[in-house]
Amino acid sequence: MGFRINTNIAAMNAQTNAGVNNRNLDSSLAKL
């Protein structure tokens, strides 16, 4: 059970990081 919770937290962190990267990429492309 504990492992499943840890996996879900890691997945949420990955999703959050991907969202931040996408926003940064959009800003960079807009500047170009």
**Is the model's pLDDT at 1 over the cut of 70?**
no
Q: For residue range 12-30, what is the model confidence (pLDDT) as tens digits?
A: 888 888 888 888 888 888 8
Q: Is the dihedral of CA 18, 21, 26, 32 positive or negative?
A: negative
Distance CA 6, CA 21 (A): 23
Residue 18 and residue 4: Cα distance in Å, rounded? 21
7-14: average pLDDT? 82
Tokens of 31: 């500047």
Q: For the whole model, what pTM was predicted?
A: 0.47
Extended beta strands in 1-32, E state? none
